[in-house]
Structure 1
Amino acid sequence: MSDTNGSAGQRLTQIKDFLTMNKTATTIPWDPDCTKFPTRKELPQVPGNPPESAWVWGDNDYIGRLNLLTPTRIAAASKEIKTGEMIPVNLPLNVPNQPAFGREVFKHEIKTLAENYAYDDLYEMNTQSGTQWDGFRHFAHFPSGSFYNGTTGADIVGPAANHKCSIHHWAEHGIAGRGVLLDYRGWAHKKGINYDPYDYYPISWEELYQCGKDQGIDIRPAAQGGDIKIGDMLFVRSGWKEAYDSKSPEDRTKAALRHGSGKDGEDGQRYAGLSQEQKILDWLHDCYFASVAGDAPAFEAWPTHEDYHLHEYILALWGMPLGEMLDLEGLAKKCRERNRWFFFFTSAPANCPGKSRSKSQRLDLHC
C-alpha cells in the first residue's frame, strides 16, 4: 500500500508541476535545476543516514548546496551587477592578530632568492586567521559522528585517509551567484539595541525578519512569498569587525585568549551570532541558500546554549558552506548608500586536496 501511495503522490506532484510550471525534487539524487525542494520538515529519511540529513545529491557528492549554483542561476544572478563596483570582503591574513579558540598566529617571512633581484614569501598559518570557509571536514554531526555525506574521521586522517569532502572539490566547481546582506548591526544601532559582539548574543529569526523588512526585503523563501531565491548566498553583519577595530591590540589578544566554556558566568570564547532556535534552522534550510557567511568567528551565537550547534546542521547534515570573519563593513556602507542589498558574489577557495577549512584566495562582491 505504501508503494501505491508513493506512486500516487508522485503522479500528483507531476500534475501540480505541469500546472504550475515547477520542477519538484522527488527522486534522489535531486536535480539541482529543480525549482521546488522539500522543506526541512519534508526531508526524506534515507535509511542509514542521520535524521534531518540532506545527503541528496549523489553518493560521491562533496559540494553539497553548491550544486544549486547552476549555470542558469549564475547567469540570472549576474543581472545584479548594475554599476560594476567591486567590494572585496577578505580580512588581511594577520587579522585577527591573535586568532580565537587557541589557533596559531599568522607568520610571514620574506625569503631572499637573489638579493635585489628575486624574493619569495613563506607563510605559516592556521586557516582561522583572516577570512575563511568552514569546509565539510571541519565540523561533524555529534550524535552520529558523521561529516557530510557519510565522511568519517578515518577518511580525513590515518592510513585510509582520502579526499572525501576535501574543500578542493569546491575550488574545482567554483562559487558564484547572487548574494544578500542582512545588516543586523546597522539595524540594531538604528533601533537602539546595544550589545557586545564579543559576548554571547543570539540573533533571533524575528529580529532578522524585521532587519530585512527595514531594508525592504522579505527574507522568507520565494516559495513562501519572500524575496530569497534558491541558490542565494546569505551574509549577516553582526558587528564583530566594527568591535575589533575599536579595541586596542592588547584587548584583542586578551579576548581571543579567553579560556573556559563561556557559559554560566565562566570565562571563554563568546560571540554574537545567529540563534540556535528552530525558526532559524527552518529558515536556513528552507531558503535553500547555497552558502551562509558572517563577520564573526563562529557565525552562530557562541557558545551554543542548546544541545546542538548550527554548524552541525549547516555543514554536516545539509552540506552548506559556512564563511566566517568576512569584512562586511564596506559592503554594508555601499548597500546602504545604494539601498540595494542583493549583489553578485564570487569566491575562489584555496585548491588544496585534503583540506578541511579553506583560506579563500578571493571573495568579491560585484554591485
Structure 2
Amino acid sequence: MAAPKSTTSTRLTQIKDFLTMNKTASLSMPFDPDSTIFPTRKELPDIPGAPEGAAWVWGENDNIGRLNLLTPTRVAAAGKEIKSGEIVPVNLPLNTPEIPAFNREVFKHEIKVLAEDVAYDDVYHLNTQSGTQFDGFRHFAHIPSGTFYNNTKGSDIVGPSANHKCSIHHWAVHGIAGRGILLDYRGYAHKKGINYDPYEYYPISFEELKHCAADQGIDIRPAAQGGDIKIGDILFVRTGWVEAYHSKSPAERNELAVRPHALGKDDGQRFAGLSQEERILDWLHDSYFSAVAGDAPAFEAWPTHEEYHLHEYILALWGMPLGEMLDLEKLSQTCREKNRWTFFFTAAPANVQGGVSTHVNGTAIF
C-alpha cells in the first residue's frame, strides 16, 4: 500500500477539488470510480506483490478492471450521444475470417434437426478468439511475472485449483455501455497518401494518431489535460485490416492467415496496429478508457519490436478490455458522413463462468 499523502497535500487537493468541482482519486486503494481526476501512469502508487506499473486499483477482489469506470453517471451521459437512433453493428460474421490467424480453430456451424419441418437447433464449434472478440483478462499475462490481472495465476484458470477469478462472466454481469470514439487512421492515411499494408508490421505512432484525430476535429488529450477524451470512453481505432481482408481473394487471405506463428520479431503473423512506444503507453493509460478496440487481429502492431507487448499493459497491468477484429467499415463511413466521431456503444459479453474471452456482440448507436 502506498504511503498516505501528507495532511497539507491532502488539504490542498481538497481545496483544489472544491474550486474546480473535481474529485481527485486518493492514492490509497481502492480508487473511487466516480473520481474525475486519476493518477497518470507515472504517478501510479506501488502495489506490494504486483509487477511494476500495475494499476490494480479497484480492490483485491476486483474482476472487471477499467469497466469500473462505466458508472451510472457516465453511462447516462453517454446516452445523450443518441440523437438520430441509427444502429451500426460492429461484428464480423462468425465465419469471418474463413481461416483465423495464430493457428486458431475454424468456425463450424451445424443444423440439428429436432423434428423434420417443425423445429431445428444450431450447434456452433468455435474459438472465441477466431473473429470479432474481446480479449479477457485471462488471455494474456504480464510475461516476466507470469501474472494476469489483479494477481490472477494460471492455476486460477486451469487445473485442480481453477476458479472464477477474472472470468469473462464478470463483465457480462456488470455490462458494457458508454461513449465510443473512433479514430479512423485508415481513412486519414488514404487522404494523406500514406501507403501501408494492414497485413504487414506497421506501427501507428502517437504522433500519427494525434494528427489523424486533429483531422477529425478531435483533441486526443484526456479531458483533465484540456482534450476531448472523457474518462470511461471506449476507444476504436481503424487500421484498415477488414478493408484489406475483403479486397483479397479467398486464396490470398487464407494463405496470409497460415503464415508461421512464433514469438519474436520474426513472427510470420504480421499486422498493422498501435506502436508500443512510451507515448502510446502513457496516452492509453492516462486517458482512462474503459476499453479499447481495433479492426486488426492484434490491435497493436504485430509482432512487437520491444521487450514487451501492449497486451501485457492493457490486459494484465491495467485491466482494460481489448477488442480485436471489429468491423469498423460501416462505422467509419457513418461517422464521416455525419462528421461526428462519438456515439453510444454497447456490448454483450458471454456469460460463461471461467471463460477467457468473448465475442463483442457490439453496437454503435448515433
- TM value normalised by structure 1: 0.97
Given that 2:113 and 2:119 are in contact with CA atoms closer than 8 Å, whether structure 1 keeps it comes out as yes
* Distance change >3 Å, CA 84–CA 18, structure 1 → 2: same
Structure 1 residues 55 and 198: CA distance shift in structure 2, 3 A: same
CA distance in 1, matches of 2:168, 2:104: 20
Structure 1 residue 365: Cα displacement: 0.2
Structure 1's 267 and 281: CA in aligned 2 closer, same or farther, altered over 3 A?
closer
Q: Tell me, in whole angstroms, the C-alpha distance in 1 between the residues paired with 2:267 and 2:356.
A: 28
Q: Aligned residue for 1:155?
A: 156
1:144-223 → structure 2 map (5 Å cutoff): 144-223=145-224
The residue type equivalent to 1:101 in the other structure is: F
Task: State the AA in 1 paired with 2:342.
Answer: F
Deviation, 1:21, is 1.4
State how far apart, in whole Å, the 1-side matches of 2:3 and 2:199 are: 53
Contact persistence 1:167–1:357 (CA under 8 A)? yes
2:289 aligned residue: 289
Could you tell me whether the CA contact under 8 Å between 1:197 and 1:272 is conserved in 2?
Answer: yes
Instruction: Determine if contact 2:102/2:261 at 8 Å carries over to the other structure.
Output: no
Separation in structure 1 between the aligned mates of residue 263 and residue 243 of structure 2, nearest angstrom: 22
Residues 91-110 of structure 1 correspond to what in structure 2 (within 5 A)? Answer: 91-110=92-111
Q: In 2, distance between residues paired with 1:348 and 1:197?
A: 28
Residues 1:24 and 1:338: Cα distance change in structure 2 (over 3 Å): same
Query: Take 1:262 and 1:335, find their aligned partners in 2: how far apart are those partners?
Result: 37
CA displacement at 1:82 relative to structure 2: 1.1
Amino acid at match of 1:329: E
In the alignment, the residues of structure 2 paired with residue 49 and residue 260 of structure 1 have an alpha-carbon distance, to the nearest angstrom, of 30
- Kindly state the Cα deviation for residue 6 of structure 1 after the two structures are TM-superposed: 2.8
SS class of match (2:255) = helix
Cα distance in 2, alignment partners of residues 51 and 130 from structure 1: 32
Shift of 1:261: 4.2
1-side partners of 2:199 and 2:189: how far apart? 15
1:241 aligns to what?
242
1:4 to partner: Cα distance: 8.3
CA distance in 1, matches of 2:137, 2:3: 34
Matches of 1:7 and 1:29, distance apart in 2:
19
The alignment covers a number of residue pairs equal to 364
Per the normalisation by structure 2, the TM-score is: 0.97
* Structure 2 Cα separation of the partners of residues 195 and 262 of structure 1: 23
Q: What secondary structure does 1:186 align onto?
A: helix
SS in 2 for 1:334: helix
Cα displacement string for residues 153-184 of structure 1 (whole angstroms, at most 9, x for unaligned residues): 00000000000000100000000000000000
Q: Map Cα deviations across residues 285-328 of structure 1 (whole Å, 9 max, x no partner).
A: 00000000000000000000000000000000000000000000
Matched position secondary structure for 1:365: strand
For the residue of structure 2 that corresponds to 1:120, the secondary structure is strand
- What displacement does 1:218 show? 0.3
Q: Is the 8 A contact 2:267 2:303 kept in 1?
A: no
Matches within 5 A, 1:1-367: 6-26=6-26, 27-261=28-262, 266=266, 268-360=268-360, 362-367=361-366
Give the aligned residue type for 2:231.
I
Contact 2:103 / 2:261 at 8 angstroms: preserved in 1? no
CA distance in 1, matches of 2:148, 2:217: 37
Worse overlay, 3-12 or 330-339: 3-12
Deviates more, 1:166-175 or 1:16-25: 16-25
Structure 1 position 253, deviation (Å): 1.0
Shift of 1:8: 2.7
1:141-164 deviations in Å (ceiling 9; x for gaps): 011111000000000000000000
1:260 and 1:310 map into 2 onto residues whose CA distance is: 18
Unaligned runs of 5+ in 2: none
**Can you list the C-alpha shifts for 1:248-284, whole angstroms capped at 9, x where unaligned?**
11111110100044866x5610000000000000000
Distance in 2 (CA, whole Å) between partners of 1:275 and 1:170 is 27
For residues 161 and 301 of structure 2, what CA distance do their matches in structure 1 show?
Answer: 35
Q: Which runs of 5+ in 1 are unaligned?
A: none
Distance in 1 between residues matched to 2:209 and 2:84, nearest whole Å: 27
2:99/2:257 contact within 8 Å kept: yes
- Say which SS state the counterpart of residue 80 (structure 2) adopts: helix
Q: Could you tell me how far apart the structure 2 residues matched to 1:56 and 1:175 are?
A: 19
Residue 12 of structure 1: CA displacement?
2.0
**Could you report, residue by residue, the CA deviation over 1:101-131 in whole angstroms, capped at 9, with x for unpaired residues?**
0001001110111111011111001112221
Q: Secondary structure of the residue that 1:37 maps to in structure 2?
A: coil
Amino acid at match of 2:349: P
Alignment CA distance shift 1:263-1:353 (3 Å): closer
Matched residue of 2:32: which SS?
Answer: coil
Partners in 1 of 2:300 and 2:310 — Cα distance? 7
Secondary structure class of the residue paired with 1:80: coil
1: CA distance, partners of 2:3 / 2:151: 27
Extract structure 1 runs of 4+ deviating beyond 6 A: none
